[in-house]
Structure 1
Amino acid sequence: MAIIPPDTGLTPATSFERLLRIMDDLRENCPWDMKQTMESLRHLTIEETYELSDAILSGDMQEVRKELGDIMLHLVFYARIGSETKDFDITQVLNGICDKLINRHPHIYSDTEVNDEADVKRNWEKIKLKEGNKSVLGGVPASLPALVKASRIQEKARGIGFDWERKEQVWEKVEEELQEFKAEFNVVENSSIDKEKAEGEFGDLLFSLINYARFININPEDALEKTNRKFIKRFQYLEGKAVEQGRALQDMTLAEMDVFWNEAKKL
């Protein structure tokens, strides 16, 4: 089979058409691609999305470009499968999102007036309800990780005006939830705790912290991931220093490990 060459015109339309033709070839001739279903691709798509997220957080734009290509392939793959079952095809997918964007941006494509981003979000949620959504929160995927889900829930509630007025109020709620968690967890006493109640209060505390982060324009998912990476970097420095000394971490005292940990913090 002839290899489909890159288009010399280098236009988005011709490049996309090239990808579609390659997808057709793979689906019809490659044993692996022929075998795939939407269900078998699903976990791979999730993995590719996380790889894109890693590239973005790393600031590696070439990796971002590559990962976007991987995700684009998956989208085309799903559309190809949809066309085989005669449920939908790539043209319907693309026109569907175009129509949705036009409908949900009446301040661009109609005569609706907005003053700021908040107005745009409120209009967006109102239009979604008119389209058939029974709840403003109905569009939040049930399978989202809890931290991301909390952010999306709060953003959507804000979109219809259900929100605090000032960040000081939100911080007061954080402090209130912290005190309730401390009281439930018996932070000073050693008496037993009601794990279910303590877990509930901890969840409330996290939710209020995420809410405050939203108020001061911090993405909590990004913030936590950056802290994860910082911890990993410092811990691996600690491991490296232990190896240099010919020692195992489990044989070192906490005070000894703290020496290297503090060195890592200065790097």
Structure 2
Amino acid sequence: MSEGAPLLDLADDMRRLRRECPWTRQQTHRSLARYLQEEAAEALEAIDAGDDAHLGEELGDLLLQVYFHAVVAEESGSFTLDDVARGIAEKMRRRNPHVFGPDAEVGGASELTAAEVDARWQQIKQAERPRRSAYDGIAPGLPALLLALKVLEREPDAPLPTESRDLGDRLLLLVAEARAAGVDPEQALRDAVRRQVPDGR
């Protein structure tokens, strides 16, 4: 089987399901939204468990959701699976000029630090999509710790509460502390909860 053939087969299978399966045919972007969220959560669980085989399976389920949404959109003429792949490939090339740019050289990207690469990415992103405010583009449905981290990344000099008795304020201070230490607070809390869950549950 040639490389990439399974991806083409999956697209064909998804289109056939839309034609021939009553349940698949009646789905919409909105009805599928919960499954996208569930599959992403299950992939995170596999990462937390360090189970690569399970992760591979869950990434397949997540990929199915991408294909499903793309085929639904394809039917209405909104966009196609090729549009999705082409769009993300072009974005990756634009936002990684140290690798794909005209001046990129073999080994040249290694001269940059990860922080410098991230800063360039953010600059290019800002030029492509200027923000109306520091919070523009942050999904309000993010988990609370991740939402707080994103806001603090956008407004690193924003005043923070001090010596507050409010639990929310104290949690925000902990997120700021985690950010300063280079720790992902969402992942740190997930790891802490996992340590509290008895084996086998």
Cα distance, 1:163 vs. partner? 5.8
* Structure-2 residue corresponding to 1:142: 140
What is the aligned length? Answer: 192
Give the RMSD, CA atoms, in angstroms.
Answer: 2.3
**Runs of 5+ unmatched residues, structure 1:** 1-7, 165-172, 186-197, 237-267
Please give the TM-score of this superposition, normalised by the length of structure 2: 0.85
Counterpart residue identity of residue 99, structure 2: I
- The 3 A distance-change label for structure 1 pair 222 and 132 is closer
TM-score calculated relative to the size of structure 1:
0.66
Distance (whole Å) between structure 1 residues aligned to residue 27 and residue 121 of structure 2: 35
Q: Which residue of 2 aligns with 1:116?
A: 113
| Aligned residue among 13, 38, 51 for 2:29 | 38
Instruction: List runs of 5+ in structure 2 lacking aligned partners.
Output: none
1:16 and 2:13 correspond = no
Please, which of 160, 165, 177 is the counterpart of residue 212 of structure 1? 177
Letter in 2 for 1:44: Y
Paired AA for residue 21 in structure 2 = C
In terms of mean alpha carbon deviation, does 88-97 or 213-222 score higher? 213-222
Q: Distance in 2 between matches of 1:211 and 1:143?
A: 20
- In the alignment, residue 31 of structure 1 is paired with which amino acid? P
Is 2:84 the partner of 1:90? no
Percent of residue pairs identical: 32
| Relative contact order higher in (CA < 8 Å, ≥ 6 apart) | 2
Q: Which of 1 and 2 has greater Rg?
A: 1
1-structure distance, mates of 2:116, 2:196 = 39
Question: 2:197 aligns to what?
Answer: 232
How far, CA to CA, are the matches of 2:188 and 2:65 in structure 1? 28
| Counterpart for residue 264 of structure 1 | none
Q: Structure 1 residues 55 and 109 mapped into 2: Cα distance closer, same or farther (>3 Å)?
A: same
Report if aligned partners of 1:125, 1:156 keep a CA contact under 8 Å in 2.
Answer: no
Which stretch of the first structure deviates more once superposed, 139-148 or 43-52? 139-148
Question: Secondary structure, in 3 states, of the residue corresponding to 2:193?
Answer: helix
**2:153 corresponds to which letter in structure 1?**
E
How far 1:206 moved relative to its partner?
1.5
The answer (yes or no) to whether the contact 1:48–1:70 under 8 Å persists in 2 is yes
| 1:1-267 paired onto structure 2 within 5 Å | 8-9=1-2, 11=3, 13-110=4-101, 111=103, 115-134=112-131, 135-157=133-155, 162=156, 177=162, 180-181=163-164, 185=165, 198=166, 202-233=167-198
